Structure 1
Amino acid sequence: MRKRGFVLISLVAIGLAALGLRSCNNEFARRNLIEAGEVTAVVDAAKPGTVVVHMLRSGEEQTWTVDDNGDPGMGPAEEAPGGPRTQSCAGDACYRVAGDRLRVDESKDGGGTFTTAWQVGGADYDTLVRTYPDLGAPAEHLASRSVVAHPAGGGQVVYVANGRDGLLRRGPDGRWTRLGGPDSGEGCCFFAPVPRLASQPPPFEPAPYVIVAVALTILVTGAVTAARRRRWETFPAVVALAALAAYIGYLGAQQPDVGMYPGFVYGVPCVLLCLVGGGFLAARYTRRPVKDPEEPASVPS
């Protein structure tokens, strides 16, 4: 009787832990997108090869410096005259922003004719609108607002203020990169990552492998123990344990970043706990129950 109670209580506790972890993951992911802030403008700095990034984070205005290599730094910096601009040139190469959408146009003839150099539109843009919480008007808060272009490395370095989508950078090689919003932590300065676009190839996803590893570990451990002790009547509880632990492992593999620390710092211990703890519980479920001392002894006939 006590054995059944232990199994039931442990399964309920694991199920509640799974619900709690899922809720925490969703809340951290949402909070990360809110706390990343909004890049409201990018302007030329007085120091050559540097731009000043204006941000709005948690209702407070912040300024950052970012050099042409893409390295952010904290603190205010002197700005070049002129303020934010919707068009900036580096020699004959000019770049302009739309102001109401995520798009940058490029001209190679000093601003005579323009073609689209970079944009996020269609399904990608609609997905970003749904992803960013408390966005407001997309044409205002998810749009390319200002641009700065510098000659560098035989080409141009371009920075664009993209609102909630953070800072956009074009390197001298012509590659455009969504950097995100500058942020700080114990390691000083980094960029808060931006959501992946729907059209981009998905990164390596460890979650399916974690599910299989956790489930197999628990099922095999439970099956071997049940076969040795002839306790197959407890195997349905092992199956339930495998399903719950695999789900927790899946959530651990998808743990979002927490502050400046990447999600795997918290996710890996969670997965290891599912593997080790799940195997231990599977063996515990299928071992022979301890006889209750208060249970009357059977009288041989």
Structure 2
Amino acid sequence: MLLLNDHVFKQAWPGLVTGKLSDVAGLVVAPPVLGLLLSLFLADRIAAGTSVLLTGAGFAVVKLTPAGADVASAAWSVVNGPSGVLADPADLVALPALGLAWWAWRRVAAAPPLPDGLVSRVRVLVAVPFAVLAIAATSAPGDTVESVNSVTVADEGGTRVLIMTDRRSYTSPSGVGDWTPVPETPESPPASRQRKTEACVPDDPAHCYRVHGDDLSDHAMSAGEGRLLGVDETTDGGQTWRTAWEVPAGRWPFVLRQHRFPRGFERPDELASVEVLVRAVPGGHEVFVANGAEGLAVRGVDGTWRRVPVVVAETGLEIRPVPLTAFGRGLGEEITVAGLIAQLALLIGMSVAAGRARARTGRGLAAALPAGLLIVCAVPLAGLVPLLSSSNATTGPGLVVALFLVGAGIGLTMTAGVLRRSRVLVVGAAAVLTGLAFLSPVFGWTAGRPAERDIAIGLGLVAAAASLVLVVAAGWWAGRDPVQRPVLKDPGWPPPPSPR
């Protein structure tokens, strides 16, 4: 229900019902997932009750207090990209759904135990990743700043900045806050107008600004990189132009992946500088640029550019520019690749160990077989993740897949019975270090060092290849002392010598 509602129902039938449906479904699914973690330390009944109470208390704090909503937004943004959670007491009508979660626990507790521990482990391995992906899968934000203009207010003796979103219009005297919704009227909607992609300083016609997003063709979109978000400036009437502000090309992929556009960038006008306003103020002039899903870019009187959000609690509007650097954010794709690299390293290490074990005992293929079969299944599983989440870049779903692959690979390999479990753990640890070696430069890229993603990926592959030496050494060591199976002898063989 979470997956369908966030990705299908909300887009097809936006409104009160679909808005509350995710709250209801989330309150049913969250307690079992939290209870599973708590059951590692607490008794099952205590873990179940605690998970229901914690889920309800956390939901109430988030919906009743702005501070709780801010903490939830920050935490959710770490694992799922930029997310905004609004305090809305009306959402508390979904709290009775916790009773359904508790009823489900009571049904499970009263049922006879599963006959085989393996069946229970398989159900957990299958159900938990999809449950976590469903909780982490949220719909893509739809609000964008589509245009920016000015409006004269006679009572105030000046002008206000007027912006239009895809739902309604707002005005502000400063253009950086204090937004007021424009009263809606039953009149027919205004006719579409041509966007103002270039504007000049009122007192200096030779000093003008133009946006980079004036060309939104497919070619410009693919070649523009960060230049889709940017502004040019001229002081000689357009004879020469220079870049006044833009998102650096090296940070463009990081900005792009933090906006949860499903499987690609299909509507470039939602993430581009599309309209510009120049307003004369005492001491100089100000520039306001409509950046779609990135909110506004504003040049102050002192010439300093900054990106500003557009937040109106009254209507639930929240359009925030994403950070250019944020350690560890938006790495779902890379973390999934790291999980595949770790699984491949485990296969290499176990193959080396299996080869040496076979030389000593005549058997060893079973040691590497589980890792090989799992990596064959891992590739389609990794491709399925983007279908279950709003983007393949969010950290949460990628982390779930990576942990599942590494944990299942090591666990299945330990059950083969060819190598000692302690030695399999050493090989698994070396494989995990290989995956982390690949991720280290990529984490640095999210913090701005290096600035280019391609450089970080190249450094990560070099580091992972170098770590394979440790994996091979661990596999060679693990195969040195395989498990010796006792040889069963027939008590009637060999036959006793016959009397002469």
Q: Tell me the TM-score normalized by structure 1.
A: 0.51
Paired position in structure 2 for 1:165: 294
* Aligned with 2:180 (options 73, 76, 83): 73
What CA distance in whole angstroms lies between the structure 1 residues aligned with 2:321 and 2:40? 46
Contact 1:38 1:181 in 2 (8 A): no
* Alignment-derived partner of residue 194 in structure 1: 321
Query: For 1:233-254, what per-residue CA distance to the aligned partner results, in whole angstroms no more than 9, with x for missing partners?
Result: xxxxxxxxxxxxxxxxxxxxxx
Residue of 179, 193, 199 corresponding to 1:88: 199
Following superposition, the deviation at residue 168 of structure 1 comes to 1.5
Q: Could you tell me how far 1:64 is from its partner in structure 2? A: 0.8
Pick 1 or 2: higher relative contact order, CA cutoff 8 A, min separation 6. Answer: 1
Q: CA deviation at 1:126?
A: 0.9
Deviations 1:37-69 (A, max 9, x none): 10111123234432210101xxxx210112245
The 5 A counterparts of 1:129-278 are 129-134=256-261, 136-137=265-266, 139-185=268-314, 192-198=319-325
Of the structure 1 ranges 27-36 and 96-105, higher mean CA displacement relative to structure 2 is found in 27-36
SS of 1:195's partner is: coil
My pick for the range that moved more, 88-97 or 65-74, is 65-74
Name 1:104's counterpart in structure 2: 231
Deviations 1:258-277 (A, max 9, x none): xxxxxxxxxxxxxxxxxxxx
d(CA) in 2 for partners of 1:152 and 1:129?
A: 34
Higher helix share: 2
Answer whether contact 2:82 2:258 (CA < 8 A) is retained: no
Report the CA distance between 1:167 and its aligned residue: 1.4
Distance 1:14 1:126 in 2: 43
5+ residue gaps in structure 1? 203-301
1:126 partnered with 2:253 = yes
Counterpart of 1:97, as a letter, is V
Task: Give the superposition deviation at 1:194.
Answer: 2.5
Of 139-148 and 35-44, the range deviating more from structure 2: 35-44
**Structure 2 CA distance for partners of 1:30 and 1:117, relative to 1, 3 Å:** same
Change (3 A) 1:138 1:85: same
Q: Structure 2 vs 1, CA of residues 86 and 16 (structure 1 numbering), >3 Å: closer, same or farther? A: same
Counterpart Cα distance in 2 of 1:97 and 1:5: 55
Residue 165 of structure 2 corresponds to residue 55 of structure 1: yes
Q: Aligned pair in 2 of structure 1 residues 12, 182: CA closer, same or farther (>3 Å)?
A: closer
- Between the two proteins, the alignment pairs up a number of residues equal to 188
Distance 2:183 2:209 in 1: 25
- Tell me, yes or no, if the aligned pair for 2:273 and 2:290 is still in contact at 8 Å: yes
Distance of 1:178 and 1:196 partners within structure 2: 10
Segments of 5+ residues of structure 2 without an aligned counterpart are 1-38, 59-71, 86-138, 185-189, 217-227, 330-500
Change (3 A) 1:14 1:116: farther
Quickly say closer, same or farther: Cα 1:190–1:142, change in 2 above 3 A.
closer
Deviations 1:89-108 (A, max 9, x none): 11333111011400101112
Distance, in Å, in 2 between the alignment partners of 1:89 and 1:120 is 22
Residue 14 of structure 1: how far off its partner (Å)? 9.6
CA gap of 1:54–1:69, structure 2 versus 1, over 3 A, is closer
Q: Check conservation: 2:161, 2:175, Cα contact below 8 A.
A: no
Distance 2:250 2:49 in 1: 38
Higher-Rg structure is: 2
Distance 2:40 2:152 in 1: 71
RMSD: 4.1
Report the equivalent of 1:296.
Answer: none
Q: What is the deviation of 1:88?
A: 0.7
Aligned mates of 2:238, 2:296 — CA distance in 1: 23
Contact between 1:36 and 1:192, CA under 8 Å: does it hold in 2?
no
Amino acid at match of 2:173: D
Whole-Å separation in 1 of the counterparts to 2:165 and 2:40: 55
| Whole-angstrom distance in 2 between the partners of 1:103 and 1:96 | 9
| TM-score with structure 2 setting the length | 0.32
What fraction of aligned residue pairs are identical, expressed as a percent? 27
Q: How many angstroms apart in 2 are the aligned matches of 1:196 and 1:29?
A: 9
Q: Point out the structure with the larger strand share.
A: 1
Partner of residue 100, structure 2: none
Task: Report the 3-state secondary structure (helix = DSSP H, G, I; strand = E; otherwise coil) of the residue aligned with 1:194.
Answer: coil
